[in-house]
Amino acid sequence: MSHRRILHAADIHLDSPLQKLDAYEDAPVDEIREASRRALENMTDLAIEERVDLVVIAGDLYDGDWPDQNTGLFFVKQATRLVNHEIHVAVIRGNHDAANKMTSNLPLPKNPDGSDILLSEKKVDQRVLEDLGIVIHGRSYAKRAETGDMAAEYPGPTGGMFNLGILHTGLSGLDGHDPYAPCSPQQLADKGYDYWALGHIHLRGEHQIEGTAPVVFSGNIQGRHIRESGPKGCIIVDVDSRNQTQRRFVPLDVVRFETFDANASEWSHTDELMDAYEAWMNDQLQQVEDRLLVTRVILSGESPLHHQWMREQSNLEASLRATSVTHGHGQVWLERLKVKTSAEVDRSHTEQHDANQEGPLHSILSVVEELKSDNADLEWLNNEISPLLKKLPTEFSGDQAPIRLDDPEERHEWIEAATTELLARLQGGKR
């Protein structure tokens, strides 16, 4: 069999709702709202331009049930463009668009060989593309919480063909992800397929065991919020006559999210922050080309500007947003500023008291360690902090969400910041 080309995409989340961005009156809401559609159009254009033989979408084409029929109609239009160019399409449902979540439905175009685009949720669906020498093995989610081992049901490979597995899975042992259809890379490798097209994890990556088939997450095709930063797109898979693959990433996103994470400890004037942000922004613009760049600024480290920035946080954010507009060539929008700096502390004084195992500073540090531990009384802590949060003036609280005490990382972050602030004040630190 001669050369074949496959486009592997996943997690399109078509018409996914904005996440907090519409809370800002100057946000480019329409451009961001349309981003998933434009990225899907880019995917279709790429498949046609690259003369792809097969497009695979490994789950979460939709973000859930449609608010109206336009979401479904948009995909029907793109799928029709593909099959009209003799491109096969194979789609499985994931946890966001599982069969039991979708009450809306529209007839989809048929593949060039007359088969359905959408793979079954009742069993592992096998599609044999004889003219391409490809066998597709895939199964849609019947329900959102598919927590069983779906991979175990996948059959062995078909001899003499390129065997392609499609699965929406969190894999086993990947932190921070729901354990949907858990399985291990070794388990997938043991199937003897030639390529695994995975979805669900929005971060692109491979989990291949040496000498076995590539196990690939393509990531989502468009970031949806600041935590989904960097280029997003699809994988083009070139298959040779020996069923060996060459893979390359192609970005499809139209909005790029990036964070300027700066240690402010060396700065003594706000102008230094503005200069550093402008230089970083210009570097990012070189990389994003004509995309919209959505930025977040996070300031950390012990800084002599800490108290000033905390008092003037709204004004500082406005200045950074103005810099984004002035120097961003119409392509940059600042999503948010987070001031996580702390006041300067005389640590030698603290360490001396800590070494003596006595004095008020040591007592404070002991309490801090207890609050940070897994045994902390979170109910008591929440009761103590909640009334204080309600009393904060808007220039301090801004639009920030309440402290999530049940999140250990966030709890530690807030406690560390408060501890540093308290020690600085006790030691007569600068205000």
pLDDT tens profile 284-301? 999 999 999 999 999 999
Indicate if the pLDDT at residue 363 is higher than 90.
no
Boundary (domain end) residue, out of 251, 274, 305: 251
Query: pLDDT by residue (tens digit) across 61-97?
Result: 999 888 889 999 999 999 999 999 999 999 999 999 9
At 208 the pLDDT is: 83
b/e per residue, 5-30, with b = 16+ CB within 10 A? bbbbbbbbbbbbeeeebeeeeebbee
Q: How far apart are CA 98 and CA 357, in angstroms?
A: 58
Which residue did the predictor score with more confidence, 218 or 208? Answer: 218
Boundary (domain end) residue, out of 251, 266, 295: 251
Helix %, strand %, coil % of the chain (to 5): 35, 20, 45
Both 57 and 186 in one domain: the answer is: yes
pLDDT above 90 coverage of the chain, percent: 63
Both 332 and 229 in one domain: the answer is: no
Out of 11-25, 161-175, 268-282, the most confident range is 268-282
Neighbours of 393 (CB within 10 A): 8
In degrees, rounded to 5, the angle at the alpha carbon of residue 369 between the alpha carbons of residues 354 and 311 is: 90
Indicate if the pLDDT at residue 5 is higher than 90.
yes
Q: Is residue 396 part of a domain?
A: yes
Q: Which CATH number covers residue 64? A: 3.60.21.10
Give the domain extent around 266.
Answer: 256-345+359-428
- Mean pLDDT for 414-426 is 66
Q: How many domains does the chain have?
A: 2
Both 225 and 149 in one domain: the answer is: yes
Both 244 and 274 in one domain: the answer is: no
Boundary (domain end) residue, out of 229, 251, 273: 251
